[in-house]
Each structure stands twice: as structure tokens, then as C-alpha cells.
Chains A and B, each alone.
Chain A
């Protein structure tokens, strides 16, 4: 893509979307939901690409972040905007419990982290005095007004979640381009070889787990203050893992923007187009689309678009020469 493209995309996201769609609460709600999924998809892709770990249990971090922020704002009286990053830190802290699973790899790690998600759900159900148990928590405070901008409005929610997701993309990019990122990518080829040259692979993998958990927990916290409701089944639902994985793969999980693009495409196509065509059973079309995308472009939508854009100028050059 040309350097102008990201600027144009950002301008459209920050200016055009609120201006053109801001009056439609329904569309803005869908966009916020899509961005929530994008945030988890990004965190999942980071753990996979940089940490080399496939997780089926990101719902654990999402739920812990959501509960931490909700409880800190409701019971400790902390401001919501402070409680949200603390929700992320809570999720990162919960990731300490997952550290023993780092000894595992591949499907064993994936299954172990799935079990952690289940354990956290049971804990949220059983710690009734703290979490309200299975009854959950209603009336979680919404997002506040900041500098005249009402973050609790649909436009405000959109701008805040968008900013957080973009900040996470920037963090992901910074790690990717750093020496640590180089070491992490080298670990993909041969973890033993990188150890030989002095890379502490376990420490780096743990760090990526903490970063990914922090990102997912922050997104979970944001969602809790957007929906104003939590219960263990909802906060730790497997959907918080499965849908972001599908979105990341659809968009291109090996790219920085792929998870964001995938989440927006998958969620909006499903809710606005497929659901209108087939009010019940529209998820089947989504499944077919995902299958088709994997066959057409195994690397996802963003690499496919990039290839198409790169090919076009070449064609134009050939035409000019003729």
C-alpha cells in the first residue's frame, strides 16, 4: 500500500465514520462489537505470531479483565477509565497461572489454556460474594465523559475502542520490529538454535503471553462498560475465543491489520447482509465464506487485497508500454 493509504484509512475511521454513521446507533453498536472482536483477534494473533502459541482460551483473559474492571469501578469506586487498564493488568496477572502451560506446545498448549478458561469461569461462579456468582452483575457503570466527549454515547464508545485497538496495533508493530521481535520470529524456525545464541525463549514467550493477556483483558474491560452487564457464562464464553480466531484467519492473522479487517468484515457482513437474507441460519454463509477465503487466499483477506493492489499498477505499466 502507498504511504497515503494508512492516513486515509485513519481519517475515514476517525472522521467519516462518526460523521456519516454517527446518527445510526444500531450501526455504531455493530462497529463497536466488531472492534471488540478485532481487539481479541489482534491479541490472539500476536501470541501466535510472536509467541508461537495457539490459544483456545483467550476467553479466560477477556473474562478476568471484564470482571476486574467492573468490580474495581463498582466496589472500589475507581474511575472507569482507570479501572479499564487495571482490568488488562488483572488479566496479565491471571496469565501467571497459565505459565506452567508454557512447557507445552502445539495442541497440548491449546488444550491446557482452554482448561484455564473453564477454571476461571467456575471461579467467577463460585466467588459469589465478589462476583455475584451465576446471577452476574447488572448496572456496570458506563464510560464517562472526557473533555466534553461523551464516551458513553455510541460515537464515544466507537472512538475509544478504535483508539485502543489502534494503540494495540502500534504496540504489536513496535514489538515486531524490535530485537525481541526478531528473536521471537527466529524462535519459530528453531527454538533450540535461538537458545544456543543466547535467547531466553521461555522468558520471551512468557512476555508475549502477558502482553496478549493484557490486550485481551483491556478489551474485555471495555466491553463490560459498554454492555453494562456480566455473568460467568457470558464473560468466559467460548465465543470470545472462536469468533476472534475466525476473524483473524479471515483477515490474515500474519499481518498487523488483518485481524482488524477480518473482524470488521466478518461481523458486519454477518449482521448486516447475511442476517438480513437469512434471519436464522446466517452463520452457515459465514462458515462457507471463511472456507472459501481459506481456499482462495490461505493468508487471508488483507494479503489478498495487497496482492491485488500491487498487481494493478503493474498492469497499468504494461498498458502504457503497449
Chain B
């Protein structure tokens, strides 16, 4: 009796166990590890920015794999040593290693040839490290980027327009990305009736006093726009601190300026200086996705995330999600990843991202931060602002 009474229950249990085992088995069969390649400069002239982006890419792998979507990502990284030929070789090595796509690249001069090699290999290539307009003009089928020159120009010009300045002197490096951005900002400001003077400088120069003297005595500009890199900003601000151009009400730069690192390393030069910034410092995220990124980043690197990590994270996460979707709908093996990525329409921690026919993100617009009392506050646009801007205000 006992046995007959318990038999159906035992059968049901066995059936249930079998069903669970089969379900797990089929899940395990479907779950797959995809290898994503990253060709990125970890040594050479772009080492600092390349390493910063890689941190974000690794955080994306960590966060994506923790989601248990059924598919996981493994990263294969090759240092391109900031050399174009080695960037091409890295892409070809990764293609030979059968990666499904590439996330990485920094500097338009490396991304250009590397993404062409990826195109030849039929590999999807997503980046945030090159803002040159030339990259998307090529019309490559497998090239994507989440940021562009237009988004930087929009933020810089938007801030100046909000300040209602009558004249701006743009001091820019003759490098590729900086020159393009300077011209775009100039066109935008002139369209809004702001008088613009342009001062180009060779990337090798370190003494900016002659240029600042022109701004002070000849232009009598109300704003200085700096379009360069860290060393250029430091040189320009040092020269301005010596010469104290009295007409200037605001000094605005772009990337790598409104950062915690600059606040800590140059406390005497940074007060009230503006720069593009996706994050305030100390870091503060309003969205759940942002907090998830920051938590994972701090757990991995024991420091607060920066904009490089943030961009690397977003580009990679969008790619991983597209891989997951393509794997599930069976198009990944048929070369459908780029089409899947092109269908992206996501609200991310850098704003909305979609891709046009050339792989560019038409929604990209940067935010502007300002150094305020050793911190970085977001001050533009109003919707993202964490503090009002201190205007007029200069470091001298």
C-alpha cells in the first residue's frame, strides 16, 4: 500500500527531476561563450586613454556575464602599441582567432586602418575612440561608433551660447580631431552671431604666452576655447595665469580636462575651468544602469569611474547585447551581427544611442562640467546639471 501509494509521487518526482535536468541540459546546450576581440593601445603615445577604455570594456564583460542571459563573453585583448601597422596586425590576429566582433580602438589614425582590416574580415567593429568625420564618411558596413565630433561641438558651443559671450578665441592643436572640432565649434558660434578668432598651434609647442598675448591684446575675447590635450591645457592655463587677460570671463576645454585627475594634479590651474564631462566628480549616477556600472567599476578597479571607462563600457555593452540577440535569433553565424547592432535604440549612461547607415550615433551630445572647489560639477545641459555654473569665473 505504502509502496503503491508512494509510487505515483516518486514517479512525479522523477518526471520533475527529468524535466528540470532536460531544461538545464537544453539551456546548457544553448549557452555559448563568444570571444570578442579588443585591439587597443596599451603602450605608446595613446597608452593612457587606451588603458582607460579597456577598463570600461572589462567592466562591461563582468556586468554582461553576471546577467545570465544564456550567453557569455570572453575578451581577447591585443595591444596595438599606438602604431597603425600593429593595429592592422592585431585585428588580423583576432580574426584568425575567430572572435565574433571587436570593441576597442583609440585614435582616428589607428581606428581608420584597423576598422578597414575588420571590414575586410567581415567583423563588426565598435568604438568610441575616434571622432574624426572621415571615419564614418567611408560608409563601411561593419563600423560603428557611439560618439563623434558633432556631439563635442554641440556641447562646447551650447555652453558658450548660454553664457551670451560676444567673442571667443579658439586655441587649437593642429592634430586631426582637434582641428575638425575647432572648425565645427567656430562655425556654430559664428552662426549664433558670436565673433570668433582661431589660433592654431603645433602639438610640439609648450610656450603659449604669444598666443595668449594675442587673445589679451588683439582679440580682447570674452571666452577662450581650448581644443587640445592635457599638456596643451596646462600650457595655455599657465600662460593665461601669468598674463591674466582681463576681458576673459570663461575658459572652456574639451576632453580630459574636467576630470578628477586634473583637479588633483593641477589644483591652482583648474578652478572654474570647463571641459566636456559625462560624469561629475565625485561620481554620482541618477540611473540604475549608471549605478550598476559604477559599482562594478569600483569593485574591479577600487577607484571611481572616468569618462574613458564609461565610453568603453557603453560601446561594449551595446555590442554584447547585439551578439546575444543575434545568437538567439540565429543570425550571428550568418554574419548578421552588424545588422543587429544597427537596430540598437538604447538609453545608455551617455544618452540615447542609435546608429545611422554609416554607423554614427546621431543622438550623441556631450555634457559640460566645471571645476568647482576641487570637484567637477555638470553645468550643461540643464537637464543633466548637478550644480549651477560659476560664471563669470577664471582661474587667475
Interface residues of A (CB under 8 A from B): 24-26, 29-30, 33, 36, 122, 125, 133-136, 138-139, 154, 223, 227-229, 231, 233-234, 239, 271, 275, 279-281, 283
**B179 contacts A26, C-beta separation under 8 Å:** no
Output the least CB separation between B287 and chain A (Å). 34
A228 CB contacts on chain B under 8 angstroms: 113, 116
Cβ of B83 within 8 Å of any chain A Cβ, yes or no, is yes
The reply on B43 being an interface residue by CB < 8 A is: yes
Q: Which residue in B84, B93, B179 is a CB contact (below 8 Å) of A227?
A: B84
Partner of B176, one of A36, A135, A239: A135
B89 within 8 A of A: yes
Chain B: residues with CB nearer than 8 A to chain A?
42-43, 77-79, 83-86, 88-89, 92-93, 95-96, 108-109, 112-113, 116, 121, 132, 134-135, 138, 174-176, 178-180, 202
| B202 with A229: CB separation less than 8 A | no
Please name all residues of chain A whose beta carbon is closer than 8 Å to the beta carbon of B202 when the two chains form the complex: 122, 125
Which residue from A133, A135, A227 sits with its C-beta under 8 Å from B85?
A227
The verdict on A26 contacting B96 (CB below 8 Å), with A229-B84, A275-B79, A280-B42 known, is yes
Taking CB as reference atom, which chain A residue is nearest B121?
A25
Complex partner residue of A25 from B85, B92, B116, CB under 8 angstroms: B92
Contact yes or no, B174 A229, CB < 8 A: no
A138 to B5 CA separation, bound complex (whole angstroms): 79
Contact residues in B for A271 (Cβ distance below 8 Å): 86, 89
Q: In the complex where A29-B89, A229-B113 touch, is A138 in contact with B135 (Cβ < 8 A)?
A: yes
Of the residues A24, A29, A135, A136, contact of B88 by C-beta under 8 Å: A29
Bound Cα distance A279, B77 (Å): 9
Return the chain A residue nearest B51 by Cβ.
A280
Closest CB-CB distance, A319 to chain B, in whole Å? 46
Which residue of the partner chain, among B96, B116, B174, contacts A24 with CB atoms under 8 Å?
Answer: B96
Q: How far is the CB of A180 from chain B (nearest CB, A)?
A: 35
Can you give 28 contacting A-B residue pairs, CB < 8 Å? A24-B96, A25-B95, A25-B96, A26-B92, A26-B96, A30-B89, A133-B174, A134-B174, A134-B176, A134-B178, A135-B108, A135-B132, A135-B134, A135-B176, A135-B180, A136-B134, A136-B176, A154-B92, A227-B85, A228-B116, A231-B176, A233-B175, A234-B109, A239-B83, A271-B86, A279-B77, A280-B42, A280-B79
Residues on A with C-beta less than 8 A from B180 are: 135
Q: How far is the CA of A223 from the CA of B121 in the complex (A)?
A: 20
Contact (A136, B109) CB under 8 Å given A30-B89, A125-B174: yes
CA distance A275 to B78 in the complex (A): 9
Docked CA distance A279–B89 (Å)? 14
Q: Which residues of chain B have C-beta atoms less than 8 A from A234's C-beta?
A: 84, 109
A26 shortest CB reach to chain B, Å = 4
CB distance from B330 to the nearest CB of A (A): 28
User: Is A26 a contact of B93 with CB atoms below 8 Å?
Assistant: yes
Q: Given the complex, which residues of B lie within 8 Å of A280, measured CB to CB?
A: 42-43, 79
CA distance A229 to B85 in the complex (A): 10
Q: Known contacts A33-B85, A134-B178, A279-B42; can you find 12 more A-B pairs with CB under 8 A?
A: A26-B89, A29-B88, A29-B89, A30-B89, A134-B176, A135-B180, A136-B112, A138-B135, A228-B116, A233-B109, A280-B79, A283-B43
B388 to chain A, nearest CB (A): 37
Q: Which of B43, B95, B96, B134 contacts A138 (CB 8 A)?
A: B134
B residues within 8 A CB of A125? 174, 202
Task: Give Cα A136 to B85, complex, Å.
Answer: 16
Knowing A134-B179, A139-B138, A280-B42 touch, does A227 contact B83 (C-beta < 8 A)? no
Which of B42, B108, B113, B180 has most A Cβ within 10 Å? B113
Q: How far is the CB of A250 from chain B (nearest CB, A)?
A: 19
A185 vs B387: C-alpha distance in the bound complex, in angstroms?
74
The 10 closest A-B pairs by CB, nearest first: A26-B93, A26-B92, A25-B92, A29-B89, A229-B113, A135-B176, A134-B176, A33-B85, A138-B112, A229-B112
CB distance from B187 to the nearest CB of A (A): 16
Name the CB-closest residue of A to B94: A26
CB distance from A100 to the nearest CB of B (A): 24
Q: Name the residue of chain A whose CB is nearest to the CB of B132.
A: A135
CA distance A135 to B179 in the complex (A): 8
Residues on B with beta carbons closer than 8 Å to the beta carbon of A223: 85
Q: How far is the CA of A139 from the CA of B143 in the complex (A)?
A: 14
Q: For the complex formed, measure the closest distance between the CB of A302 and the CB atoms of chain B, giving whole angstroms.
A: 25
Taking CB atoms, residues of chain A closer than 8 Å to B179 are 133-135
A228 to B112, CA, bound (A): 9
Residues of chain A within 8 A of B134, CB atoms compared: 135-136, 138
A228 to B84, CA, bound (A): 10
Taken together as a complex, chains A and B put the C-alpha atoms of A48 and B184 apart, in Å, by: 48
Contact in complex: A281, B43 (CB < 8 Å): yes
Q: What is the CA–CA distance of A271 and B80 in the complex, to the nearest angstrom? A: 10
Are B84 and A138 within 8 A (Cβ)?
no
- Distance from A269 Cβ to chain B, minimum over Cβ atoms (Å): 15
Q: A125-B174, A134-B175, A136-B109 are in contact. Are A29 and B92 (CB under 8 A)?
A: yes
- Please, how many angstroms separate the alpha-carbon atoms of A231 and B107 in the complex? 12
Q: Which residues of A contact B135 (CB under 8 A)?
A: 138
Q: Which residues of B contact A29 (CB under 8 A)?
A: 85, 88-89, 92
CA distance A281 to B47 in the complex (A): 12
Q: By the criterion CB–CB under 8 Å, are B88 and A227 in contact?
A: yes
Residue of A with least CB distance to B95: A25
User: Are B89 and A227 in contact (CB-based, < 8 A)?
Assistant: no
In the bound complex, residues from chain B placing their C-beta under 8 Å from that of A136 are 108-109, 112, 134, 176
Least distance between B135 CB and chain A CB atoms (Å): 7
B residues in contact with A227, CB < 8 Å: 84-85, 88, 113
Task: Report Cα–Cα, A271/B180, bound state, in Å.
Answer: 34
Check A138 against B138 for contact (C-beta < 8 Å). yes
Q: How far is the CA of A24 from the CA of B109 in the complex (A)?
A: 25
Question: Which residues of chain A have C-beta atoms less than 8 A from B96's C-beta?
Answer: 24-26
Residues from chain A with Cβ under 8 Å of B132 in the complex: 135
Which residue of A154, A229, A275 contacts B109 across the interface (Cβ within 8 Å)?
A: A229
In Å, the complex CA distance between A133 and B176 comes to 8
Chain B nearest CB: distance from A309 CB in Å?
Answer: 32
Cα–Cα, bound, A271→B87 (Å): 12
